[in-house]
Amino acid sequence: MKNLKLTRPITFMDIETTGLNFREDRIVDICITKVFPDGKEETLNTIINPTIPISAESTQIHGITDADVQGKPTFSEFAQKILAFISNCDWGGFNIIGFDLKFLEEEFKRTEIAYSNEGRKVIDVMKIYHKLDPRDLNSAHLKYCGSLLESSHGSHRDVKATMDVLDSQLERHSDLPTTVSALHELCNPKNPSWIDDEGKLSWLNGNAVINFGQHKGKTLEEMYKTNPDYLQWMIDKDFSPKVKNILKEVLTGKVPQLLKK
């Protein structure tokens, strides 16, 4: 790095995970590159065995499967190497504040190894990017409609501006779909393995499985036989009507129908 002035080393980190929930999902790949004030670089990189299934949608993103992590160190087994590598370093990364560091902190909590970001400076390149290239309605209107919004505020102004921006986007980008249904799919992508719109239930190897929390990866058939109370708990909680209807059928013994995709 030529333009960053360092007084002590900074470590840039990126991770891949089993999913997006930092409290429930785990790290499966971690790379940390340390940059020293004299410009020298060192890298620590390994595949991690998360000890839980990797979601199909995550595998589609990073290409790491359950088979790939077999025989690899768990985070607990690798934690001391990470801790030693980042000692007396600041942090850098892209969305590191909202993603990578949250996962790292949670992983350290599970190991009961003392870890803290206190005293570390954190540079988030994504936040710098968004400051330099704003992502708000005013900047979108300038880009697509050629002018800033009027100084007066109000919902009527913002609604009209949003409509104008969308119309201009469709005109300028010929690869964008022009139907509401297709644009809905673009804005709300659903992984093909998901059974419901939120992915609480998904298909895994042809079986309907729980796709979150402590029972992630367990089939509905297994849950019906060994832990029906958990399925009832889901029915009583704030899950979607589709999830509840499926689980109600499971509790009546209609699991085989669910296993046919």
Residue 7 is encoded by which pair of tokens?
A: 């007084």
pLDDT band at 260 (very low <50, low <70, confident <90, very high): very low
Q: Which residue in the block uniquely carries the two structure tokens 């949250």?
A: 102
Eight-state DSSP code of residue 98: I
Mean pLDDT of the chain: 90
pLDDT band at 257 (very low <50, low <70, confident <90, very high): low
Q: What is the pTM of this model?
A: 0.67
Query: Domain 10-128 belongs to what architecture?
Result: 2-Layer Sandwich (3.30)
pLDDT band at 259 (very low <50, low <70, confident <90, very high): very low
Any residues with CB less than 8 A from the CB of 35 and at least 6 apart, and which?
Answer: 1, 4, 6, 9, 10, 11, 12, 41
Could you give the percent of the chain with pLDDT greater than 70? Answer: 97
* pLDDT tens digits for range 85-112: 999 999 999 999 999 999 999 999 999 8
Q: How far apart are CA 224 and CA 232, in angstroms?
A: 10
Q: Rounded to whole angstroms, what are the CA distances from 23 to 14, 110, 122, 167?
A: 18, 10, 21, 40
pLDDT at 232: 95
Taking 50 as the threshold, does the pLDDT of residue 261 lie above it?
Answer: no
Which sequence spans correspond to the domains of the chain? 10-128, 134-150+163-189, 201-258
* pLDDT tens digits for range 23-48: 889 999 999 999 999 999 999 999 99
pLDDT at 55: 86
Between 150 and 174, the higher pLDDT residue: 174
* pLDDT tens digits for range 199-214: 899 888 788 899 888 8
* pLDDT tens digits for range 43-89: 999 999 999 999 888 888 899 999 999 999 999 999 999 999 999 99
Q: Rounded to whole angstroms, what are the CA distances from 122 to 7, 78, 85, 116?
A: 14, 23, 16, 13
Q: How many contiguous H segments (helices) and E segments (strands) does the chain have?
A: 11, 7
